[in-house]
Amino acid sequence: MVQYFKARLYGETSLENFCLEKIDLWAASVLHSADFLEIDLEVLQIILRRDTLKVKEVDVCNAVTKWAKHRCEQDKLDPTGANQRSVLGDALFLIRFPVMTPEDVASGPLKIPDI
């Protein structure tokens, strides 16, 4: 992730594309890394728009939820659903919910709490 940020900073398009290809290949590791939580909304949207990520969409959804909670903490907001949706903005609509299995949806971050 650090190399991707540097490539963007210096306008190195070929290096940026190379990094995105590596992010695709190692998506599971990237989404679980501490660096992922530090990306800005624009980079999050760039990653979410990629159709070539080698990871299940439920893992993407879980990582985005974790990112949103982290962003709420940074902004000193309670990590409520409304605040998470607020910090995500339109990025929320980049998660491909229809490709998830019903089991993934039921057990993922959208799980309805037990009563």
Residue 8 buriedness (CB in 10 A; 0-12 / 13-18 / 19+):
middle
Check pLDDT > 50 for residue 115.
no
pLDDT at 105: 80
Q: With b meaning 16 or more CB within 10 Å and e meaning fewer, what string describes 21-45?
A: eebbeebeebbeeeebbebeeebbb
Asked whether 1 and 35 are in contact (CB, 8 A), the reply is yes
Q: For residues 85 and 106, what is the distance between their CA atoms, to the nearest angstrom?
A: 19
The residue type of 23 is: I
When comparing pLDDT for 108 and 41, which is higher?
41
pLDDT at 85: 94
pTM reported for the whole predicted model: 0.87
What interhelical angle do 41-48 and 2-9 show, nearest 10?
Answer: 110
If you average pLDDT over residues 12-24, what whole number do you get?
Answer: 92
Closest to 65 measured CA to CA, from 50, 43, 87, 47: 87
51-61 pLDDT, tens digit each: 999 999 999 99
Q: For residues 9 and 96, what is the distance between their CA atoms, to the nearest angstrom?
A: 29
> Degrees (nearest 5) of the Cα angle 104, 97, 75?
95
61-109 pLDDT, tens digit each: 999 999 999 999 999 999 999 999 999 999 999 999 899 988 888 776 6
pLDDT at 110: 60
